[in-house]
Amino acid sequence: MLQIKAEVADALATGRPVVALESTLISHGLTYPANIEIARQLEEIVRSEGAVPATIAILDGRPRIGLDEAGIEKLAQGKDIRKVSRRDIPLVVALQQNGATTVASTMYLAHRAGIQVFATGGVGGVHRGRLFDVSADLPELAQTPVIVVCAGAKSILDLPLTLEWLETHGVPVLGYGADEFPAFYSRSSGLPVDARMETAGDVARVWRAKQELELAGGLLIAVPVPREAEFAASEAEAAIETALAAAEAHGITGKDITPFVLAEVARLTEGRSVEANMALLRNNASVAAQIAVACAGGM
């Protein structure tokens, strides 16, 4: 069922480090040509750190673990690319559609392929004012054994409730060079992490201990946005509150809230939120590759 790119399959077979990358940011997160540029950059960054990139998507009904240039181009400019979470995978496969994977579906397919480390921007979480509106990313973290490297949860979410959910379901949240959980655009949220990790080797040791203890689920590594790309939490919060009010006024709910609010925040901040997003994506890819190398015994 899985179509694994030859380079990725060889790396997995020989125990070399591999980093999974999502494809939703290509089809639904950024516009062309910025989307294809960041997709290429992330793969190049992973390679520069000594790991093999595996961008994941579903093309013509086949889950693809690692894409060629044509595949990335198709996601970047293609029409009717479905946003695929875990529940959508069998539908897109059976109907032979094209789909860009979210955090949840990328985790699932990465694990099926044998990939242990995944780099993304920010994970989903509990929506503000909607206690039971929980992203599929969270239960995936609780059940699928993959290290997820991110810049925290998207700051448009309820971060305290998101961390409570992760604690209740046994998902360790580790700060990479940080004592606080980052708030995506901002380096600090005022919320503590479970432990601070200084190096990729530290993360690898925690991961090995978790596996040896046969504890289910993944590991969330929270990496603050690079300092030069950060903007003040108060400024970000003001834009988010305005965007959320606009979403409510337009009657936007469910899975449509996040893309609408992110687009509004980008407009309100005159593109600075997009610049921060690009910077943290690049940084997360670098950290994830270092962790993958450490897990493979290279550090």
Return the active site residues. Answer: 22, 154
d(CA 157, CA 138): 13
Is residue 243 helix, strand or coil? helix
d(CA 262, CA 36): 19
d(CA 294, CA 136): 28
**3-state helix vs strand vs coil in the chain, percent to 5:** 50, 20, 30
d(CA 227, CA 213): 36
Burial of 235 per CB tally in 10 Å (0-12, 13-18, 19+):
middle
Is residue 199 helix, strand or coil? coil
Is residue 20 helix, strand or coil? strand
Give the angle subtended at the CA of 256 by the CAs of 236 and 174, to the nearest 5°. Answer: 55
Q: Is residue 153 within 8 Å of 123, Cβ to Cβ?
A: yes
d(CA 81, CA 283): 27
Helices (H), the chain: 6-13, 24, 34-48, 69-77, 89-94, 103-113, 137-143, 159-168, 200-212, 233-249, 257-268, 272-295
